[in-house]
Amino acid sequence: MRRRILCCCVVLGLAALMLTGCSVDPFAVDAGVSLPEHDHVAPKGDNVIHHDPVGYCGNTVTTVRCDKPGKQTERWERSFWGGSSVGLSDFLRWLDYSDNICRCLPEYYVETEFEQAEYGINLTAGYVRLGEKQCQLTEDQINWLAETLDEIREGAGEDLCALPPAEQPVFGE
């Protein structure tokens, strides 16, 4: 009896979907499962963990992969070192990853020498994810990341090791 009721529910649910014309977005994390809507709101306070400034030379290697869901023409990957690597790695390293993850997929994946897991970045939703937690970004952080990722895609950036030690910036101050 329970099996019959379950089968009837499934058939009625499928019929309702067909009649309403609903379609499933193959790139959605929820894969058609009805999940509550959610919003991404920029944080009101500080979202960076307090830490002592760290000096880097720029010999750290970073890899960025753009993998926007549903946009195969926008896919690219680049490994690099120097100023862009140091700045991006240091920025991602000290964010406060204390929020639960949402269902939005990352648009960019970043591998650094500081973490074994990849960072997931979604500029549209304004977050950075690490493991099972994420950090909501401020508008300024989103803008900085967008500019930085554009520079990385274009191959721009500087080699901070070429600067004399006294002129090398200390990131994280």
**Is 15 among the domain residues?**
no
**Is 53 among the domain residues?**
no
**Is 140 among the domain residues?**
yes
- How far apart (Å, rounded) are the C-alpha atoms in residues 146 and 15? 43
**Is 32 among the domain residues?**
no
The yes-or-no verdict on residue 37 having pLDDT over 70 is no
- How far apart (Å, rounded) are the C-alpha atoms in residues 59 and 83? 9
**Is 85 among the domain residues?**
yes
* More confident site: 61 or 70: 61
- Report how many domains make up the chain: 1
* More confident site: 126 or 170: 126
Strands 62-66 and 133-136: unpaired
**Is 128 among the domain residues?**
yes
- How far apart (Å, rounded) are the C-alpha atoms in residues 103 and 106? 9
**Is 42 among the domain residues?**
no
Indicate the average pLDDT of the chain: 73
Tell me whether residue 88 is exposed, middle or buried, using C-beta atoms within 10 angstroms of its C-beta: 0 to 12, 13 to 18, 19 or more: buried
pTM above 0.75, yes or no: no
Region 113-131: mean pLDDT is 92
Beta bridge partners of 82: none
The yes-or-no verdict on residue 157 having pLDDT over 80 is no
Contact between residue 31 and residue 58 where contact means Cβ atoms under 8 Å apart = no
Contact between residue 86 and residue 152 where contact means Cβ atoms under 8 Å apart = no
The yes-or-no verdict on residue 158 having pLDDT over 60 is no
Structural domain range at position 111: 62-167
- How far apart (Å, rounded) are the C-alpha atoms in residues 119 and 144? 16
Instruction: Give the position of tokens 């101050």.
Output: 173
Instruction: State residue 41's pLDDT score.
Output: 61
**Is 172 among the domain residues?**
no
